[in-house]
Amino acid sequence: MAMKAQLFKEIVIFVREYKGLSFYCLEELCGLYPSVNKDTLASILSYEYQTRLRFVHFKNQQARIRYWEAYTKGLKSKNKTGIIINIAKKEGISPCLIAKLIMLEYLKRSNKVGTEENMVQTVTKYLRNTSLIPDYKLAYEVFLCTVFDNLYSPVADVIRSSTGQQYEIQLHNEVTKLGLAFRDEEYLRKCGYDKTPDIKLEVSIAIDGFIVNWIESKALFGSEKVHKDYTESQYLSYWNRFGPGLVIYWFGYIETIIDPNNKNFMVCDHLPTDIIQIRNDK
Protein backbone atom coordinates (compact mmCIF):
# COMPACT_ATOMS: atom_id res chain seq x y z
CA MET A 1 0.00 0.00 0.00
CA ALA A 2 1.34 3.43 -0.95
CA MET A 3 2.43 5.81 1.82
CA LYS A 4 0.40 8.99 2.22
CA ALA A 5 2.26 12.13 1.21
CA GLN A 6 1.59 13.80 4.59
CA LEU A 7 3.08 10.89 6.53
CA PHE A 8 6.16 10.88 4.31
CA LYS A 9 6.54 14.63 4.83
CA GLU A 10 6.39 14.21 8.62
CA ILE A 11 9.11 11.54 8.56
CA VAL A 12 11.38 13.62 6.32
CA ILE A 13 10.97 16.73 8.50
CA PHE A 14 11.85 14.72 11.60
CA VAL A 15 15.00 13.36 9.94
CA ARG A 16 16.11 16.77 8.66
CA GLU A 17 15.62 18.41 12.04
CA TYR A 18 17.17 15.58 14.06
CA LYS A 19 20.36 16.46 15.90
CA GLY A 20 22.47 13.39 16.48
CA LEU A 21 23.53 10.11 14.95
CA SER A 22 21.44 8.31 12.34
CA PHE A 23 21.80 5.22 14.56
CA TYR A 24 19.58 6.84 17.23
CA CYS A 25 17.43 8.70 14.71
CA LEU A 26 16.22 5.36 13.34
CA GLU A 27 15.39 4.13 16.84
CA GLU A 28 13.29 7.22 17.49
CA LEU A 29 11.56 6.94 14.14
CA CYS A 30 10.58 3.35 14.92
CA GLY A 31 9.09 4.56 18.22
CA LEU A 32 7.20 7.42 16.62
CA TYR A 33 5.87 5.42 13.66
CA PRO A 34 5.34 1.82 14.86
CA SER A 35 2.96 1.10 11.99
CA VAL A 36 5.66 1.81 9.39
CA ASN A 37 8.06 -0.99 8.47
CA LYS A 38 11.54 -0.45 9.94
CA ASP A 39 13.17 -1.09 6.55
CA THR A 40 10.98 1.63 5.06
CA LEU A 41 12.04 4.12 7.72
CA ALA A 42 15.69 3.14 7.30
CA SER A 43 15.46 3.64 3.54
CA ILE A 44 13.96 7.13 3.90
CA LEU A 45 16.55 8.01 6.54
CA SER A 46 19.41 6.75 4.38
CA TYR A 47 18.35 8.82 1.38
CA GLU A 48 17.97 11.99 3.44
CA TYR A 49 21.44 11.53 4.95
CA GLN A 50 22.93 10.87 1.51
CA THR A 51 21.43 14.13 0.29
CA ARG A 52 22.82 15.98 3.29
CA LEU A 53 26.29 14.53 2.82
CA ARG A 54 26.38 15.42 -0.87
CA PHE A 55 25.46 18.97 0.04
CA VAL A 56 28.12 19.42 2.73
CA HIS A 57 30.87 17.16 1.35
CA PHE A 58 32.94 19.95 -0.21
CA LYS A 59 32.72 22.00 2.95
CA ASN A 60 33.82 18.99 4.98
CA GLN A 61 36.88 18.50 2.78
CA GLN A 62 37.88 22.06 3.56
CA ALA A 63 37.17 21.45 7.25
CA ARG A 64 39.58 18.50 7.47
CA ILE A 65 42.07 20.44 9.56
CA ARG A 66 39.31 21.70 11.85
CA TYR A 67 38.11 18.15 12.49
CA TRP A 68 41.67 17.03 13.14
CA GLU A 69 42.15 19.83 15.68
CA ALA A 70 38.86 18.95 17.36
CA TYR A 71 40.01 15.33 17.56
CA THR A 72 43.42 16.15 19.06
CA LYS A 73 41.75 18.51 21.51
CA GLY A 74 39.40 15.73 22.51
CA LEU A 75 42.34 13.45 23.27
CA LYS A 76 43.44 15.91 25.97
CA SER A 77 40.00 16.16 27.57
CA LYS A 78 38.63 14.04 30.40
CA ASN A 79 36.25 12.22 28.08
CA LYS A 80 38.81 10.39 25.97
CA THR A 81 36.53 7.96 24.14
CA GLY A 82 33.92 8.57 21.50
CA ILE A 83 35.67 11.76 20.38
CA ILE A 84 34.90 11.39 16.68
CA ILE A 85 31.37 10.23 17.50
CA ASN A 86 30.81 13.46 19.43
CA ILE A 87 32.17 15.54 16.55
CA ALA A 88 29.77 13.76 14.21
CA LYS A 89 26.84 14.45 16.57
CA LYS A 90 27.71 18.14 16.69
CA GLU A 91 28.16 18.45 12.94
CA GLY A 92 25.19 16.25 12.03
CA ILE A 93 27.37 14.21 9.68
CA SER A 94 28.18 10.52 9.30
CA PRO A 95 30.79 9.37 11.90
CA CYS A 96 32.60 7.35 9.24
CA LEU A 97 32.89 10.38 6.97
CA ILE A 98 34.40 12.42 9.81
CA ALA A 99 36.71 9.48 10.59
CA LYS A 100 37.88 9.34 6.95
CA LEU A 101 38.76 13.03 6.95
CA ILE A 102 40.61 12.76 10.26
CA MET A 103 42.55 9.73 9.03
CA LEU A 104 43.54 11.60 5.87
CA GLU A 105 44.94 14.42 7.97
CA TYR A 106 46.66 11.89 10.24
CA LEU A 107 48.39 10.27 7.27
CA LYS A 108 49.37 13.65 5.84
CA ARG A 109 50.92 14.83 9.10
CA SER A 110 52.68 11.54 9.82
CA ASN A 111 54.10 11.30 6.27
CA LYS A 112 53.20 7.62 6.25
CA VAL A 113 51.69 7.64 2.75
CA GLY A 114 52.70 9.70 -0.28
CA THR A 115 50.06 10.98 -2.68
CA GLU A 116 46.48 11.96 -1.90
CA GLU A 117 45.29 8.98 -3.96
CA ASN A 118 47.42 6.61 -1.90
CA MET A 119 46.11 8.17 1.30
CA VAL A 120 42.50 7.66 0.20
CA GLN A 121 43.22 4.00 -0.59
CA THR A 122 44.89 3.55 2.78
CA VAL A 123 41.99 5.18 4.62
CA THR A 124 39.56 2.82 2.89
CA LYS A 125 41.70 -0.11 4.03
CA TYR A 126 41.87 1.26 7.58
CA LEU A 127 38.12 1.72 7.75
CA ARG A 128 37.53 -1.89 6.75
CA ASN A 129 40.06 -3.17 9.29
CA THR A 130 40.75 -0.67 12.06
CA SER A 131 43.42 -2.94 13.60
CA LEU A 132 45.73 -1.86 10.77
CA ILE A 133 45.80 1.76 12.00
CA PRO A 134 49.23 2.31 13.64
CA ASP A 135 47.89 4.75 16.26
CA TYR A 136 45.93 2.59 18.70
CA LYS A 137 43.88 5.52 20.05
CA LEU A 138 42.79 6.55 16.57
CA ALA A 139 42.14 2.90 15.72
CA TYR A 140 39.71 2.59 18.64
CA GLU A 141 37.97 5.86 17.77
CA VAL A 142 37.49 4.79 14.16
CA PHE A 143 36.24 1.38 15.31
CA LEU A 144 33.54 3.10 17.38
CA CYS A 145 32.50 5.01 14.27
CA THR A 146 32.01 1.77 12.34
CA VAL A 147 29.83 0.46 15.17
CA PHE A 148 27.60 3.53 15.53
CA ASP A 149 27.33 4.47 11.86
CA ASN A 150 24.44 2.42 10.50
CA LEU A 151 24.52 4.08 7.08
CA TYR A 152 28.10 4.51 5.85
CA SER A 153 30.27 2.01 7.68
CA PRO A 154 31.79 -0.99 5.85
CA VAL A 155 29.31 -3.23 7.65
CA ALA A 156 26.40 -1.05 6.52
CA ASP A 157 27.68 -1.24 2.93
CA VAL A 158 27.77 -5.04 3.10
CA ILE A 159 24.28 -5.19 4.60
CA ARG A 160 22.91 -2.84 1.95
CA SER A 161 24.47 -4.86 -0.86
CA SER A 162 23.31 -8.20 0.55
CA THR A 163 19.80 -6.85 1.10
CA GLY A 164 19.58 -5.86 -2.55
CA GLN A 165 20.76 -9.32 -3.58
CA GLN A 166 18.33 -10.95 -1.15
CA TYR A 167 15.33 -9.26 -2.76
CA GLU A 168 16.59 -10.02 -6.26
CA ILE A 169 16.78 -13.69 -5.26
CA GLN A 170 13.29 -13.44 -3.74
CA LEU A 171 12.00 -11.99 -7.01
CA HIS A 172 13.64 -14.81 -9.00
CA ASN A 173 12.07 -17.40 -6.70
CA GLU A 174 8.60 -15.87 -6.89
CA VAL A 175 8.73 -15.57 -10.67
CA THR A 176 9.85 -19.20 -10.88
CA LYS A 177 7.01 -20.34 -8.59
CA LEU A 178 4.55 -18.61 -10.89
CA GLY A 179 5.94 -20.69 -13.75
CA LEU A 180 7.10 -17.68 -15.77
CA ALA A 181 9.94 -18.06 -18.28
CA PHE A 182 12.52 -15.31 -17.94
CA ARG A 183 16.08 -14.16 -18.51
CA ASP A 184 18.06 -12.53 -15.71
CA GLU A 185 20.34 -9.51 -15.70
CA GLU A 186 23.52 -11.56 -16.08
CA TYR A 187 22.23 -13.27 -19.23
CA LEU A 188 21.11 -9.98 -20.78
CA ARG A 189 24.51 -8.39 -20.20
CA LYS A 190 26.17 -11.32 -21.94
CA CYS A 191 23.92 -10.48 -24.88
CA GLY A 192 25.42 -7.00 -25.02
CA TYR A 193 22.85 -4.90 -23.11
CA ASP A 194 24.49 -2.27 -20.90
CA LYS A 195 21.36 -1.31 -18.93
CA THR A 196 19.21 -4.26 -18.03
CA PRO A 197 16.26 -4.99 -15.71
CA ASP A 198 16.55 -7.73 -13.11
CA ILE A 199 14.00 -9.86 -14.99
CA LYS A 200 13.17 -9.93 -18.71
CA LEU A 201 10.10 -12.09 -19.26
CA GLU A 202 10.18 -14.44 -22.24
CA VAL A 203 6.39 -14.40 -22.34
CA SER A 204 4.58 -11.15 -21.50
CA ILE A 205 2.10 -11.06 -18.62
CA ALA A 206 -0.84 -8.82 -17.80
CA ILE A 207 -1.44 -7.39 -14.31
CA ASP A 208 -4.78 -5.62 -13.90
CA GLY A 209 -4.86 -5.14 -17.65
CA PHE A 210 -1.33 -3.69 -17.81
CA ILE A 211 1.19 -5.48 -20.03
CA VAL A 212 4.50 -6.34 -18.34
CA ASN A 213 7.63 -7.44 -20.22
CA TRP A 214 10.26 -6.83 -17.53
CA ILE A 215 10.53 -6.50 -13.74
CA GLU A 216 12.95 -4.35 -11.76
CA SER A 217 13.63 -4.98 -8.05
CA LYS A 218 14.50 -2.09 -5.71
CA ALA A 219 15.20 -2.84 -2.04
CA LEU A 220 14.37 0.71 -0.99
CA PHE A 221 11.55 3.22 -0.54
CA GLY A 222 10.30 4.92 -3.68
CA SER A 223 10.15 8.64 -2.92
CA GLU A 224 9.44 11.14 -5.70
CA LYS A 225 13.13 12.02 -6.06
CA VAL A 226 14.28 8.39 -6.00
CA HIS A 227 11.64 7.42 -8.55
CA LYS A 228 12.47 10.35 -10.83
CA ASP A 229 16.21 9.56 -10.75
CA TYR A 230 15.72 5.87 -11.53
CA THR A 231 13.13 6.64 -14.21
CA GLU A 232 15.62 8.84 -16.05
CA SER A 233 18.65 6.59 -15.54
CA GLN A 234 17.06 3.13 -15.91
CA TYR A 235 13.33 2.63 -16.38
CA LEU A 236 12.92 4.62 -19.60
CA SER A 237 15.85 2.70 -21.11
CA TYR A 238 14.14 -0.57 -20.26
CA TRP A 239 10.88 0.68 -21.77
CA ASN A 240 12.62 1.78 -24.98
CA ARG A 241 14.16 -1.67 -25.43
CA PHE A 242 11.62 -4.07 -24.01
CA GLY A 243 8.32 -2.21 -23.77
CA PRO A 244 6.26 -1.69 -20.57
CA GLY A 245 7.30 -3.29 -17.29
CA LEU A 246 6.93 -3.49 -13.52
CA VAL A 247 8.99 -1.73 -10.84
CA ILE A 248 8.90 -3.19 -7.31
CA TYR A 249 9.86 -0.95 -4.38
CA TRP A 250 9.99 -3.61 -1.68
CA PHE A 251 10.01 -1.03 1.15
CA GLY A 252 7.02 0.87 -0.21
CA TYR A 253 6.55 4.09 -2.13
CA ILE A 254 4.87 7.46 -1.80
CA GLU A 255 1.41 7.69 -3.33
CA THR A 256 2.31 10.69 -5.49
CA ILE A 257 4.55 8.69 -7.85
CA ILE A 258 1.56 6.75 -9.18
CA ASP A 259 0.45 8.15 -12.51
CA PRO A 260 -2.65 6.39 -13.90
CA ASN A 261 -1.76 7.68 -17.37
CA ASN A 262 1.74 6.18 -17.33
CA LYS A 263 1.92 3.47 -19.98
CA ASN A 264 5.67 2.81 -19.56
CA PHE A 265 5.66 0.83 -16.32
CA MET A 266 3.59 0.13 -13.24
CA VAL A 267 4.72 0.36 -9.60
CA CYS A 268 4.10 -2.13 -6.74
CA ASP A 269 5.62 -3.04 -3.38
CA HIS A 270 5.40 -6.78 -4.12
CA LEU A 271 5.07 -9.16 -7.04
CA PRO A 272 1.36 -9.62 -7.79
CA THR A 273 0.23 -13.22 -8.19
CA ASP A 274 -3.03 -12.49 -10.02
CA ILE A 275 -1.50 -12.44 -13.47
CA ILE A 276 -2.38 -13.55 -16.97
CA GLN A 277 0.24 -14.94 -19.33
CA ILE A 278 -0.09 -13.55 -22.82
CA ARG A 279 0.79 -16.15 -25.41
CA ASN A 280 1.02 -15.72 -29.13
CA ASP A 281 0.31 -19.29 -30.12
CA LYS A 282 -0.50 -19.90 -33.79
pLDDT of residue 112: 66
d(CA 94, CA 16) in angstroms, rounded, equals 14
What's the mean per-residue pLDDT of the chain? 89
Q: Is the pLDDT of residue 5 over 90?
A: yes
Percent of the chain past pLDDT 90, that is, above it, reads: 62
What average pLDDT score do residues 215-227 get?
A: 96
pLDDT of residue 282: 46
Q: Is the pLDDT of residue 145 over 90?
A: yes
What confidence tens digit (pLDDT) does each residue in 11-26 have?
999 999 998 888 899 9
What average pLDDT score do residues 195-224 get?
A: 93
Q: Please name every residue paired with 265 in a beta bridge, in sequence order, or none if there are none.
A: 245
What confidence tens digit (pLDDT) does each residue in 237-254 have?
999 999 999 999 999 999
What confidence tens digit (pLDDT) does each residue in 48-99 have?
988 877 766 655 667 788 899 999 999 888 767 899 999 998 888 889 989 9
Question: What are the domain boundaries of the chain?
Answer: 5-152, 162-277
User: Using only C-alpha atoms, what is the Rg of the chain?
Assistant: 23
